Each structure stands twice: as structure tokens, then as C-alpha cells.
């Protein structure tokens, strides 16, 4: 199958991942890392912060000029938050790109397909039942990502089946409408739970708006295994998304099992979405903004879109978090509000440019 993917006469020649774009993605992550750690209620010199971050590498010992208090701010308060933002943003963008390839739908993302809502409902159930009470939003219990995964997978299955039951197949428009319906249904379930558990409303509502507040490295360690598993599975199968874009018959003729590939990629993307949602709440539009920007700038092959979405998605969310922390300082804007303000106009642009696909 590897030779067929590379040499099949019916396949468009995919544009490989150029080194300059890979360098740009890594540079964006590094810039976001330094900026995220430098700016906040107490601003620190970016140069000194960069030196202090280098000191975290084995064998490196440089004088950053920061006081012990400032070093504690860098390593214990801001760095875990920025790293979590890089992981969550990368997962959401990677999942968005994978969903767009699986469903052949330019508007598919974890939020619009109901996956995030499904994970959100499951986490709301966990929080309102008191699991990890008193610290669920700062030190997440281990069961939260697992519950979110179950909710996410259930939501995407509902969307997929509802779209197929319309009689028109899984067209882009049908899937979007199915995702909206599933999201509305799950949101109603969340509302009912919150009404019956009024004492949890403030806690859950704060989580639903999206946030990256952490209690240290605990949340990072909790999300990291899901991040690694999702990244490995999706990136190893990125070539198959290029084949699936040709249609099931053509993909099967090249030795690919279309349904098996779809199920595997949907499960991996749902796992990543579940981990991201359980750690940060519902943060919309990242899965649309980043993959489409990469597609417009770097190429339409998923060999390019997925790895760059991972890098630029992490950088995007980390920098968005800087805006959320500083725009209305000393108060903090929920990061989901900022991404919605940025993503709303972008979604309209994508919708307009996708009229032919949706028609």
C-alpha cells in the first residue's frame, strides 16, 4: 500500500512538508513559549525569560538576571500554563484537521461536530456528581479525561449516524446540521444538570467558557499521554487522508480500508479532543482557524496540514491566552471568548469560500 500511496496514477502529487514551514512552526512555538511566560500581571524581560528557560535544559547554567521570586513565577506558575496551552491548542487544531479529512468537510471541527459538547457534558456530569470536588478545575481527577473521551466518542457517533439517516448520505451540509442538532441536545442535558445542581453552576460555567488555569504541572502530566497517543496515531495515518479525499472506491482500489481508517482517525481525534476539553473547557474555532490557515499558506496535502496544525495550533492558543490574561488586566477574559471573537469572522469567511462544497 505504501508504494500505491506514492505512485498511484490517480493520486494528485502531494506537496511535501517543506523545511521552511517546519522551521516556521517550531519558531512560532518558541515565540509563544517565551511570550506566554514573559507577559502577565507581572511582566518579565523576554530575554531573561528565554535564558531562564534554557537553564531548564540539562547541563545549561546561565545567569538570567531574574530574582528567585521571578524564577518561581517562570517555572512554577506560568510555564505549566503555557505548556498546557501548547498541548491543548495542538490537539484541537490536529483534531480539526483530521475531522476535515475524514468527513471531507471544510467546516468540520471538534466544536461543530458536537464532539466537544459531548466531552463537555461528560465532564459536567463528573463535576456535578462531586468527583474531585474542590479542585476539579485546577487539579483534574484522572477519571475526567476518560469520561470526556466517552462523551466525545458518543457525540461523534450520534452526529455520524444522524447524518447518514437523512437519506442524502454524509454530505458536508448534512453533517454540519447533524452536529448542530447533537450539540443542542447535549447542551440541553448540561443545562438540566446545572439546574438540578445549582451549587456547581459557577464552577462548571467557568469551565465551559474555557480556561488554562493550572495548579502546576499536574494537568500537563495528565494531558501529555493523550497528546502523545493522538499525535502519533493521526500523523502516522496522515497519508491515508489524502487517499480518502479521492473517494472510497478509489481508496479501496489502492489497498486502503476506508471505514477502518475513518474509525481509527475519528477515535484518535476524539481522544485528543476529550483530553483538551477536560483540561481547558470548551474552546471553539481553533480546529477551523489553524488548519485552514495552514491549508491556504502551505498546501492542501494532509502530510503538510496535520503536522503544521499541531505546531501552529499550540502557538495560536498560547498567544491567545496571553491576550486573555492581559487585555483586561488585572481581570482575565475566558480564553474561549477570545477564540470565538477571532473565529467567528474566520468561520464566515470559510463558509463563503466553501459554497461549492456545501451546495
C-beta of residue 335 within 8 angstroms of C-beta of residue 52: no
Q: What is the pLDDT of residue 110?
A: 84
Q: What is the pLDDT of residue 11?
A: 43
Q: What is the pLDDT of residue 87?
A: 96
Q: What is the pLDDT of residue 31?
A: 97
Q: What is the pLDDT of residue 328?
A: 83
Query: HSE (CB half, 13 Å, CA atoms) of 189?
Result: 17
Residues in the chain: 359
Task: Assign domain 85-313+335-358 to its CATH superfamily.
Answer: ABC transporter involved in vitamin B12 uptake, BtuC (1.10.3470.10)
C-beta of residue 321 within 8 angstroms of C-beta of residue 85: yes
Q: What is the pLDDT of residue 313?
A: 97
The DSSP string of 245-268 is TT-HHHHHHTT--HHHHHHHHHHH
C-beta of residue 90 within 8 angstroms of C-beta of residue 290: no
Global pTM reads 0.85
Domain ranges of the chain: 18-77, 85-313+335-358
Alpha-carbon span 106 to 358, nearest angstrom? 9
Q: Over its length of 359 residues, how does the chain's per-residue pLDDT go in tens digits? A: 444 444 444 444 445 668 899 999 999 999 999 999 999 888 999 999 999 999 999 988 999 999 999 999 999 999 999 999 999 999 999 999 999 998 887 778 887 778 888 988 888 888 787 654 444 444 455 567 778 888 888 898 898 888 777 665 556 667 778 888 999 999 899 888 888 887 777 777 777 788 887 657 888 988 999 999 999 999 999 999 988 888 777 878 877 888 888 889 988 998 899 888 888 888 988 998 999 999 989 988 999 999 999 999 999 999 999 999 998 888 889 898 999 898 888 877 777 766 544 44
User: What spatial distance separates the first Cα and last Cα of the chain, rounded to whole Å?
Assistant: 33
Within 10 angstroms of residue 171's Cβ, the number of other Cβ atoms is 17
Q: What is the pLDDT of residue 3?
A: 46
Amino acid at each position: 500500500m505504501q508504494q500505491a500511496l506514492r505512485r498511484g496514477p490517480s493520486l494528485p502529487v502531494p506537496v511535501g512538508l517543506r523545511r521552511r514551514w517546519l522551521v516556521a512552526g517550531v519558531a512560532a512555538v518558541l515565540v509563544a513559549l517565551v511570550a506566554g511566560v514573559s507577559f502577565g500581571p507581572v511582566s518579565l524581560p523576554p530575554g531573561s525569560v528565554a535564558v531562564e528557560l534554557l537553564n531548564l535544559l540539562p547541563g545549561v547554567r546561565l545567569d538570567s538576571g531574574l530574582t528567585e521570586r521571578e524564577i518561581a513565577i517562570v517555572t512554577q506558575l506560568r510555564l505549566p500554563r503555557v505548556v498546557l496551552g501548547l498541548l491543548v491548542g495542538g490537539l484541537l487544531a490536529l483534531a480539526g484537521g483530521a475531522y476535515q479529512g475524514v468527513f471531507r468537510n471544510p467546516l468540520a471541527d471538534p466544536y461543530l461536530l458536537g464532539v466537544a459538547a459531548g466531552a463537555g457534558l461528560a465532564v459536567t456530569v463528573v463535576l456535578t456528581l462531586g468527583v474531585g470536588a474542590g479542585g476539579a478545575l485546577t487539579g483534574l481527577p484522572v477519571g475526567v479525561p476518560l469520561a470526556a473521551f466517552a462523551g466525545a466518542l458518543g457525540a461523534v457517533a450520534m452526529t455520524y449516524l444522524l447524518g447518514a439517516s437523512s437519506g442524502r448520505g454524509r454530505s458536508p451540509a448534512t453533517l454540519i446540521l447533524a452536529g448542530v442538532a447533537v450539540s443542542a441536545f447535549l447542551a440541553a442535558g448540561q443545562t438540566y444538570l446545572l439546574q438540578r445542581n445549582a451549587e456547581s453552576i459557577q464552577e462548571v460555567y467557568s469551565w465551559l467558557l474555557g480556561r488554562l488555569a493550572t495548579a502546576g504541572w499536574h494537568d500537563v502530566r495528565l494531558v501529555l499521554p493523550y497528546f502523545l497517543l493522538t499525535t502519533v496515531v493521526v500523523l502516522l495515518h496522515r497519508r491515508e487522508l489524502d487517499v480518502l479525499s479521492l473517494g472510497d472506491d478509489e481508496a479501496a482500489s489502492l489497498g486502503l480500508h476506508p471505514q477502518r481508517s475513518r474509525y481509527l482517525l475519528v477515535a484518535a481525534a476524539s481522544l485528543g479532543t476529550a483530553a483538551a476539553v477536560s483540561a481547558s473547557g470548551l474552546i471553539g474555532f481553533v480546529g477551523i482557524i489553524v488548519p485552514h490557515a495552514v491549508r491556504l499558506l502551505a498546501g492542501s496535502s494532509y502530510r503538510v496540514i496535520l503536522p503544521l496544525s499541531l505546531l501552529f495550533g499550540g502557538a495560536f492558543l498560547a498567544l491567545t491566552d496571553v491576550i486573555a490574561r492581559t487585555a483586561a488586566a488585572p481581570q482575565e477574559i475566558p480564553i474561549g471568548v477570545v477564540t470565538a471573537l477571532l473565529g467567528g469572522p474566520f468561520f464566515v469567511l470559510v463558509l463563503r469560500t466553501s459554497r461549492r462544497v456545501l451546495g
